[in-house]
Each structure stands twice: as structure tokens, then as C-alpha cells.
Amino acid sequence: MIAIDTSSLVAYLSGDHGIDVGATDLALEHRQAALPPVVLSEVLSDPRLRPDVRTLLTSVPLLALHDGYWERAGLLRARTLRAGGRPRWRMS
């Protein structure tokens, strides 16, 4: 199973190209993709989201959340920001 993050999913849906987009495409094609619940929530929150994309997203399995998930997610985000990374995504 491959967990797809928001930025890779948005890039895939926008028709962008890149290693992450190719991996997202392969994971979806081979039914090896899973979405963290927060990713599903973020992408579904786009008011312009097409119904066919909504159908695709709701057909992808969700990752099960285990104790400490949100703490680990917050610490990972802090480490990414500290290293100069910045979370971003756009739906266009």
C-alpha cells in the first residue's frame, strides 16, 4: 500500500508531471493506493471538485489511524519546516 499525500494527489489531478505524479498514477492503477483521512478531507474541501474526481477519491481505501498518528504528523511537519521545506498544494 502506498499512502498518497495531498501535494502529490493535487498534482496528479491537475495533470502535472513528476516522479510523485507517476507513482500516484501507478498506485491508483494497480489499486495499491491509500489515502490518509486528512488528505481526503483536504481534497474534498475544494468547492470546484468535479463529481468524477469525488467518486475516484471515495473509492480509494483510507489508512487506519493508530494511536499517536496526529502527534507523529505534527512532529514530521515541524521537522520539514525546520529543514526549510514548506507544505503547499494547489488545485487548479
pLDDT, tens digit (0-9, with 9 covering 90-100), for 63-75: 998 999 889 888 9
Q: How far apart are CA 7 and CA 14, in angstroms?
A: 10
State the DSSP code for 3.
E
Q: How far apart are CA 90 and CA 92, in angstroms?
A: 6
Average pLDDT of 31-50? 93
Which residues make Cβ contacts (< 8 Å) with residue 6, sequence separation at least 6? 38, 39, 42, 43, 89
Domain ranges of the chain: 2-82
pTM of the complete model beyond 0.85:
no
Average pLDDT of 34-45? 93
| Number of other CB atoms surrounding residue 62 within 10 Å | 13
Q: Could you list the beta-strand ranges (E) of 1-92.
A: 2-3, 33-34
